Amino acid sequence: MDFKKIRNNILLLGLFSLIVFTLWTGFQIFYFKNYLEKTLISKAENSLNLIENKLTDYVQFLETYYKIPFIPEFAELPESKGWLLELIEFLEALFKKEKFLNLAIYYQNKPFLSWDMEEAEFKTSPKLPKTQFQCKEELVVKDNTLTACKLVRIEKYPYFIYLTLDISYYRKTFLQYTAIVVLVYLLNSVLIGYFILKLIKAEKNREEIQKKLNAEKELALLGKMSATIAHEIRNTLNTLALLLQTRPEEEAKKYTTQTINEIQKLSHQFQDILIFTKDIKINLEKFPVEDFILELNLFFSSLNTSKELTLEVQNFLQELYGDRFWLKKAVENLLKNAVSASPPNGKIILKFYDHKDKFFIEVFDEGEKIPPSEQEKIFEAFYTTKKEGLGIGLYLIKKIMEAHKGEVKVENLEPKGKIFILSWKKT
């Protein structure tokens, strides 16, 4: 995987983390705001219910005591002042506990009791408008004030409980919480960005180190290749020199053929080297299998000179998807190896098929099996078990299949022979 792709993946991961953390931060703020609103509503409703219960007890006691419907003037009678004082003390304690700004009770749309934050005590003659009071049973939030009103019916008579709450503390708490959450979010965002940069830098350093290692490996391969090429060229030149020096006139044709074969062998080796030095950049396309097989048959015909081998093609596909040039080079190398390994009058099978989401090409020959200990080594560069050859054919096949995100493997068959299998994904 190249550096650009890894960098993009890291950036996508960082962006995903940032989006998730942003959504989580927004959820925390929303949840806390909703929690504060529910707390305020519950506080106002509980206060109204407590006042309602206490007021009901007060009114019902006085009506039982005086045996007539309640009227605000009961508060002026000496016998009821104690009960009124008890009601006032309860309301005063509740007022201070819940930090009301205003608290008022209306009887038949007329003020009965009120308390203001600036006043020192409850008033039985409150400073409230003498006009008819209209109570809307809803909670209203305006600026830093929450207003609540509740209609209560006691013995069929209407009472209104009206109160206002200072909610500046709750808003201040919400702003403080939001500031802390946003600060944590910013710190985490900075940390995520820092770690992303560190990961990108580390990956870049890793890629640079990998490039250096690859360069060193290529230099080592180049040295090994130079020695191998020098050895092969020397052998071929020695053979050519010997043929030219010892050639009898009556066998000129035979020696000429051998000379041409040696020159062709040397040409094929140089061709393999040229392909080895190329970068494998694949161009994916769909192409018909029949034409592909025709080209491989022609190539096989050029190889099958003296062993009288037969090539059997088993095709179960209409088309292939991949780089036609490089796939052809891979199969040609397998056919070349199969011809070299096959006994005289042997059979080579070339098979094309697909299974699930993969294409497969198989090359079978009746030659000697490959020991399990060497089934991985044979795909290394310049490793060969032959007396002749550079040992780069199977290595190139492996690189070609890796470029197609596929693989090559070898399997020994019973009772004889082996099969090389190329496989890669259809898309």
Question: pLDDT tens digits for 25-57?
Answer: 899 999 998 998 888 888 888 888 888 888 888
The answer to whether the CB of 141 falls within 8 A of the CB of 3 is no
The CATH class given to the 280-425 domain equals alpha beta
Q: Secondary structure of 327-378 in the HEC alphabet? A: HHHHHHHHHHHHHHHCCCCCEEEEEEEEECCEEEEEEEECCCCCCHHHCCHH
Residue type, position 280, single letter: I
Tokens linked to 417: 């022979």
Which residue from 148, 116, 135, 136 is spatially nearest to 43, judged by alpha carbons?
A: 148
Residue that wins the pLDDT comparison between 401 and 60? 401
The answer to whether the CB of 28 falls within 8 A of the CB of 228 is no
The answer to whether the CB of 425 falls within 8 A of the CB of 402 is no
Question: For residue 308, what is the DSSP state?
Answer: -
Question: Domains of the chain: which residue ranges?
Answer: 3-166, 280-425
Say what the pLDDT of residue 285 is.
93
Q: What is the pLDDT of residues 347-357, one digit of tens each?
A: 999 999 999 99
If residue 249 lies in a helix (H) or strand (E), which one and from where to where? none
Please state, rounded to an integer, the average pLDDT across all residues of the chain.
79
DSSP helix/strand/coil, 406: coil
How far is Cα 150 from Cα 152, in angstroms, rounded to an integer?
A: 6
Say what the pLDDT of residue 97 is.
79
pLDDT over 60 (residue 393): yes
- What is the DSSP secondary-structure string of 145-211? EEEEEEEEEETTEEEEEEEEEE-HHHHHHHHHHHHHHHHHHHHHHHHHHHHHHHHHHHHHHHHHHHH
In the chain, % of residues over pLDDT 70: 74
Q: Residues 78, 80, 83, 85: is their CA dihedral positive or negative?
A: negative
Integer CA distances (angstroms), 58 to 68, 105, 106, 115, 131, in order: 14, 13, 14, 18, 25
Q: For residue 146, which phi and psi values (nearest 5 degrees)?
A: -115, 125
Residues 6 or more apart whose CB falls under 8 angstroms from that of 165 comprise 40, 43, 44, 98, 99, 100, 101, 145, 146, 147, 148
Give me the residue label for tokens 């930090």.
99
The answer to whether the CB of 424 falls within 8 A of the CB of 401 is yes
Q: What is the pLDDT of residues 287-305, one digit of tens each?
A: 999 999 999 999 998 886 6
Mean pLDDT of 173-194: 88
Say what the pLDDT of residue 130 is.
45
How far is Cα 67 from Cα 61, in angstroms, rounded to an integer?
A: 10
Mean pLDDT of 164-171: 84
Give me the residue label for tokens 């062993």.
307
Q: What is the pLDDT of residues 65-111, one digit of tens each?
A: 777 777 766 666 766 677 777 777 888 788 777 778 888 888 777 77
CA 49 to chain centre: 53
Say what the pLDDT of residue 389 is.
58
Q: Rg of the chain over CA atoms, in angstroms?
A: 48
DSSP helix/strand/coil, 312: strand
Q: Quickly state the pLDDT bin for 16 (edges 50, 70, 90).
A: confident
The answer to whether the CB of 370 falls within 8 A of the CB of 411 is no
Which residue from 21, 90, 82 is spatially nearest to 54, judged by alpha carbons?
A: 90
Which residue from 377, 424, 379 is spatially nearest to 398, judged by alpha carbons?
A: 379
How far is Cα 165 from Cα 147, in angstroms, rounded to an integer?
A: 6
